[in-house]
Chains A and B, each alone.
Chain A
Amino acid sequence: MTEKISLILFSGSMDKLMAGSIIASGAVANGMDVDIFTTFWSLMQFKKSGAPKPTLSAEAGNMADMVMKTMKEKKVPSWLDTLKQISEIGNVNVYGCAMFADLMGIKKEDLDPIVKDVIGVSQFVDMAKDSKMTLFL
């Protein structure tokens, strides 16, 4: 059976989403499947419209503006583009959290098409239990 990594994306901070997409890339490079469960603030960032403006984690502090500017200048691909790129190479599945989606009235159609389905936590945990690694970001 193919090895798998499971990521639970909670934070909507752009740096954490980038970390998640880069770790997912590393997994794909190692021939692993990737399952992603997006909830709370990360789910908001998968919205096709009305997503909050992406910002860095609070710990970026007064470096935030400089880092954002540098990333723009150096044309660093967005975390979402990275996820899309690796989903063409490997088996990457993104699932939205049904609880938060229901709470906020978000439908599957409101989310980027990379989100395959909106599922409950129990189903995701069942899928994740055979993973080699599970990370919460």
Chain B
Amino acid sequence: MAEIKPTKVIDARGSFCPGPLMEMIKAYKQGKIGDVISVYSSDSGTKKDAPEWIKKSGNELIGVFDRNGYFEIMMRKTK
């Protein structure tokens, strides 16, 4: 898979549930169709909540990637 380059990266490491998710939703609302949004988070609630939100809202979950000491949630705005 070719490396996908995010349109917007949100570094929410150190922020607690529901902070990272809320920042992601804010970026989603401000973004355009086709935008790729990446959220860096170290919060375990976000790891479950954010992918759930992406699927439920009808957008595309590109993936949840384990990085060194945090994880990255990548989504594409499709609606």
Spell out A's residues near B (CB within 8 Å): 22, 25-26, 28-31, 74-77, 82, 85-86, 88-89
**Partner of A74 from B14, B18, B25, B26 at Cβ < 8 Å:** B14
- Number of B interface residues, CB 8 Å? 15
Q: Which residues of B contact A30 (CB under 8 A)?
A: 56
B14→A25 contact, CB < 8 A: no
A86 to B26 CA separation, bound complex (whole angstroms) = 9
- A sample of 25 cross-chain residue pairs with beta-carbon separation below 8 angstroms, ordered by A number, consists of A22-B17, A22-B18, A25-B21, A25-B22, A26-B18, A28-B22, A28-B25, A29-B21, A29-B22, A29-B49, A30-B56, A74-B16, A75-B14, A77-B15, A77-B19, A82-B19, A82-B22, A85-B19, A85-B22, A85-B26, A88-B26, A89-B22, A89-B25, A89-B26, A89-B29
The answer for the CA separation of A76 and B15 in the assembled complex, in Å, is 7
CA distance A89 to B16 in the complex (A): 17
